[in-house]
């Protein structure tokens, strides 16, 4: 038996690992490569295995860099079950359909250009039908329930505290009387983060695969981060403008709504109109409400379905295009949360057009801004931006709040591994080389951990 690192080794995106045991093949994650166009081309490559020969998939969580190639896997012949947490399944219903919609729209746009050059049309990466077919193979599970998923294979999911329904995957494998336990961290959340429980700890394993996104970094404390957001909103009140917050539709948006509810009085939020302007974020928030059994104790007290109107009475949901256009006409007193989180698409671009040139307005970035995105350009101090061919001056106050990460930092990752009392061999994945290397060095020095950084294609024996 062994595990092979097919994606998400030496990089963050494209998470995909293949476990072989007792004649079975199980895929952990099947994620999309995201980043530069030339890397994303890899999403169109054939899988380095026969999809029809895969017996099952275990999906750690709904983020597209973990789930985004499942529709392709199914189209290529995979017919087995996709095991994941129930809440992850519900989020995937939103996210995979959205990804498919964007694929179809991008291909259409590209093909209009290609037609003018008499080039043959491109197929979308996958379609809505492909996404629907994949979703039919999902099997929703609960945390902490051990179950047999094939000969020599038992699966148990544990809460990873990263986004709703995110899981640490524990696989018990046996072959010819030899038993091994493999633990895959998935993406690990920050201890103390809003809404969700802290990442579950596991005490024993024979091999651990751990993410290392922020292996070289320590986050600013959550308390300080929340205080910072509160202060910006307080100070924005004198500006006679709006506050715009570009946010990822799943995870970050719900964190913000929750923080607003929790600090409603402290931040004098009754003086504002809070608008959530993103159909996808509204749908994802519904899924969060539906799964409040997964909240931590504080969130369960404060943010349940019955109370949601009373804890944030001035929240309005903007669903339709007309509603969104009405929000464009508000000149002051609104806090507008909208997607996409890096301003690369979505309704936030309309709000930027209407607000970013006005001195009294504020922009708060609460998420990672990748190189080359509009969000990154604004954070880096661009004096003007271009939207739909129009040049617009940047006069609004731009704030960057760094501490709201959905990932554990170096200290969090170290402490999660430290709970394994037998100090099992550890392979670092899901990180840029600098950050994985720094974490490996730290773990070797602090814990004498038998750690290595996973290489693309590497096959690690388990027997």
| Maximal CA-CA distance, the chain | 72
User: Among 132, 149, 141, which residue's Cα sits nearest to residue 54?
Assistant: 149
What's the closest the beta carbon of residue 359 comes to Zn ion, in angstroms?
A: 37
Site of interaction with Zn ion (CB under 5 A): 63, 65, 187
Quick one: 167 or 274, whose CB is closer to Zn ion? 167
Which lies closer to Zn ion via its Cβ, residue 13 or residue 242? 13
Q: Burial, 400: exposed, middle or buried (Cβ in 10 Å; 0-12, 13-18, 19+)?
A: middle
Cβ proximity to Zn ion, 63 vs 399, nearer residue: 63
The beta strand positions in 292-417, using DSSP E, are 315-317, 334-338, 362-365, 384-387, 390-393, 397-400
Quick one: which of 218, 162, 223 has its CA closest to 189?
A: 162
Q: How far is the CB of 370 from Zn ion (least distance, A)?
A: 13
Q: Of 193, 184, 261, nearest to 222 (Cα)?
A: 193
Q: H-helix or E-strand containing 27?
A: strand 24-28
| Contact call for residues 95 and 35 (beta carbons, < 8 A) | no
- In the structure, how many helices (H) and strands (E) does the chain have? 15, 22
Of 153 and 164, the one with the shorter C-beta distance to Zn ion is: 164
- Characterize the bridge pairing of strands 178-184 and 397-400: unpaired
Which residues on adjacent β-strands are paired with residue 16?
A: 7
C-beta of 185 vs 242, nearer to Zn ion: 185
Residue closer to Zn ion, measured from CB, 272 or 417: 417
Of the pair 187, 277, the CB lying nearest Zn ion is at: 187
Judged by CB, which is closer to Zn ion: 152, or 341?
Answer: 341
CB of 62 to Zn ion, least distance (A): 8
Query: Smallest distance from the beta carbon of 273 to Zn ion, in angstroms?
Result: 31
CB of 91 to Zn ion, least distance (A): 11
Q: Closest distance between Zn ion and the C-beta of residue 345, in Å?
A: 20
In the sheet with 451-453, reading across from the earlier edge strand, the strands are: 147-150, 153-159, 167-175, 178-184, 207-211, 426-429, 451-453
Q: What is the Cα–Cα distance from 186 to 20, expressed in whole angstroms?
A: 19
Q: In the bound complex, what is the minimum distance in angstroms from residue 411's beta carbon to Zn ion?
A: 19
Which residues neighbour 105 within 8 Å (Cβ) at sequence distance 6 or greater? none
Whether cis (ω within 30° of 0) applies to the bond prior to 340 is yes
> Minimum CB separation from Zn ion for residue 166, in Å?
7
Q: Which residue has the tokens 């969130």?
A: 299
């Amino acid at each position: 038996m062994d595990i092979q690192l097919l994606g998400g080794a030496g990089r963050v995106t494209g998470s995909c690992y293949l476990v072989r045991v007792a004649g079975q093949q199980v895929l952990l994650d099947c994620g999309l490569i995201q980043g530069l166009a030339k890397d994303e081309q890899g999403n169109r490559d054939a899988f380095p295995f026969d999809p029809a020969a895969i017996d099952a998939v275990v999906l750690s969580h709904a983020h597209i860099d973990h789930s985004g190639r499942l529709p392709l896997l199914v189209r290529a012949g995979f017919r087995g079950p996709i095991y994941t947490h129930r809440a992850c399944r519900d989020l995937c219903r939103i996210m995979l359909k959205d990804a498919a919609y964007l694929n179809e729209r991008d291909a259409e746009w590209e093909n209009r250009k290609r037609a003018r050059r008499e080039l043959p049309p491109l197929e979308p990466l996958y379609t809505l039908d492909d996404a629907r077919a994949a979703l039919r193979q999902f099997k929703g599970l609960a945390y902490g329930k051990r179950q047999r998923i094939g000969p020599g294979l038992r699966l148990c999911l544990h809460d990873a505290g990263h986004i709703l329904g995110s899981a640490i995957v524990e696989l018990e494998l046996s072959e010819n009387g030899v038993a091994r336990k493999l633990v895959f961290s998935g993406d690990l959340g920050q201890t103390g983060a809003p809404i969700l429980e802290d990442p579950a700890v596991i005490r024993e394993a024979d091999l651990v695969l751990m993410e290392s996104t922020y292996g070289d970094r320590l986050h600013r404390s959550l308390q300080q981060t929340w205080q910072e957001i509160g202060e910006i909103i307080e100070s924005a009140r004198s500006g006679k403008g709006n506050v715009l917050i570009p946010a990822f539709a799943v995870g970050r948006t719900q964190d913000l709504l929750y923080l607003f509810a929790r600090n409603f009085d402290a931040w004098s939020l009754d003086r504002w109109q809070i608008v959530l302007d993103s159909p996808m974020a509204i749908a994802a928030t519904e899924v969060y409400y539906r799964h409040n059994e997964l909240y931590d104790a504080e969130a369960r007290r404060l943010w349940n379905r019955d109370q949601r109107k009373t804890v944030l009475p001035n929240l309005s949901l903007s669903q339709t295009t007309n509603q969104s256009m009405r929000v464009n006409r508000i000149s002051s007193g609104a806090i507008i949360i909208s997607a996409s989180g890096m301003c690369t698409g979505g309704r936030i671009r309309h709000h930027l057009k209407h607000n970013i040139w006005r001195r009294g307005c504020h922009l708060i970035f609460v998420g990672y801004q990748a190189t080359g995105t509009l969000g990154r350009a604004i954070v880096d101090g661009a004096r003007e931006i271009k939207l739909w061919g129009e040049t617009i001056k940047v006069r609004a106050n731009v704030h960057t709040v760094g501490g709201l990460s959905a990932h554990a930092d170096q200290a969090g990752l170290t402490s999660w591994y430290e709970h394994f009392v037998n100090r099992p061999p550890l392979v670092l994945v899901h990180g840029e080389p600098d950050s994985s290397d720094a974490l490996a060095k730290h773990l070797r020095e602090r814990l004498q951990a038998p750690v290595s950084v996973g290489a693309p294609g590497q096959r690690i024996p388990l027997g």
